[in-house]
Amino acid sequence: MTILPKESEVDATVVNLNVNDDFLEKGCDVVASVQTSSICCCSLSCAGLFPLQYMTDGVLLREDSDLEKYRFVVMDEAHEQSLSTNVLFGILKNVVARRCDFKLIVTAATLTAQKFSNFFGSVPIFHIPGRTFPVQILYSKTPCEDYVEAAEKQAMMIRITSAPGGILILMIGQDEIEATCYALSERMEQLIETKKEARKLLILPIYSQLPAELQAKIFQKAEDGARKCIIATNIARHL
């Protein structure tokens, strides 16, 4: 089995869903599951292929010290180091030394690749070119005094004028997220009361302290005619 630890439940779920979609497009019979608990564990298997399992760093740290259930571990975005990943690297270094059947793949930004290579005994480095996508950046013409209010107004403008698609608003913390959700909800209620034609806006907050069952709502498909608006901390940076 191949294990892919991720830093957060959201990261594990996003990657799991993306891989699931890729296999389904190729006509592969895929089975994926997501636990609705404080510890996320997403598994994926396909007939004739090696099973994959996505989980948070914390779940992997609870496994036995030799990781006997797994033959491959992929440490993705290793340059985004945390306490959990640093502890995992120490454990994985020992596992690599003890088990000849165990393989470890570390993906990292180019600037840190040599550091990880040296840590594991000057192992080979493979360079894989990244992909870029066109991004349009639009700046406000005037300074923003209240970024919560500005985010609410911009989201309402996008809801009316832009092509179909979701909206992602990144905020600093829970207080700002809840304030933005409240402002958007109030604005939508005003439009409904005045009977103005309003495309439905599905307002979804997400932050680390939010219960897992509420976090999972961001992965639900919006109904026809509705636009999803996710207000999040950097926990949703990979959406």
H or E stretch including 90?
helix 83-98
The domain in which residue 228 lies consists of: 147-236
- Those residues whose C-beta lies under 8 Å from the C-beta of residue 105, and which sit 6 or more positions away, are 72, 73, 74, 75
205 close to 232: Cβ distance less than 8 angstroms: yes
Relative to beta strand 52-56, strand 2-6 is parallel
10-residue stretch averages of pLDDT, the chain, 239 residues long? 64 65 62 42 54 77 87 85 86 93 86 87 87 84 89 89 86 93 91 72 88 79 86 76
> Same domain, yes or no, for 112 and 151?
no
Q: Is the pTM of this model over 0.85?
A: no
> Same domain, yes or no, for 114 and 153?
no
DSSP assignments along 147-171, one per residue: HHHHHHHHHHHHHHHSPS--EEEE-
Indicate whether 130 belongs to any domain.
no
> Same domain, yes or no, for 52 and 110?
yes
